[in-house]
Amino acid sequence: MATGPEREAGADLAERAGPTDISDPLIRTEARKAFVWIGMAALLALTVFLAQSLLVIFGGIVFGALIDGGARLIGKVLKIPRGLRVGMVLLLALLFLLWVGRFAGSQIAMQAAELPATIESQFRHGLTWLHAHGIQPRITELRGMAQEALGGIGQVTRVVGGLIGVVTTLFLILVLGIYFALEPRLYQRGVGWMLPIDRRDHFETTVEMMGQALRRLMFGRLIGMTVEGLFTWAMLQFYGVPMAVLLGLITGMLAFLPNIGAPISGMIMILVGFSGGYEMGLYTIVVYLLIHLIDGYLIVPMIARKTVDLPPALVLATQLIMGVLFGLLGLALADPLVAMIKIWLEREADRNGGGKTAAGLEASA
Least-confidence region, from 104-108, 155-159, 213-217: 155-159
Q: How does the average pLDDT of the chain come out, rounded?
A: 75
122-155 pLDDT, tens per residue?
667 666 766 666 666 555 554 555 444 444 444 4
Rounded CA separation 89/70 (Å) = 6
The pLDDT of residue 91 is 92
**pLDDT-based confidence at 156, cuts 50/70/90?**
very low
Q: Is the pTM of this model over 0.75?
A: no
CB atoms within 10 A of CB 22: 14
Indicate whether 347 pLDDT > 50.
yes
**Those residues with Cβ within 8 angstroms of residue 296's Cβ, 6 or more apart along the chain or in another chain:** none
Rounded CA separation 275/119 (Å) = 8
The pLDDT of residue 183 is 87
**pLDDT-based confidence at 157, cuts 50/70/90?**
very low
**Those residues with Cβ within 8 angstroms of residue 144's Cβ, 6 or more apart along the chain or in another chain:** none
Mean pLDDT, residues 83-112: 77
Per domain, the residue ranges of the chain are 35-356
Rg (CA), the chain: 28
Rounded CA separation 266/320 (Å) = 19
The stretches of the chain forming alpha helices (DSSP H) are 4-15, 25-49, 51-75, 82-103, 105-132, 139-161, 167-182, 184-193, 197-239, 244-254, 261-274, 278-294, 300-306, 312-352, 357-364
CB 233 within 8 A of CB 100: no
Tell me which residue of 114, 94, 125 sits closest to 247, measured CA to CA: 114
The pLDDT of residue 304 is 62
Indicate whether 360 pLDDT > 50.
no
Residue with more model confidence, 258 or 346? 346
The pLDDT of residue 358 is 46
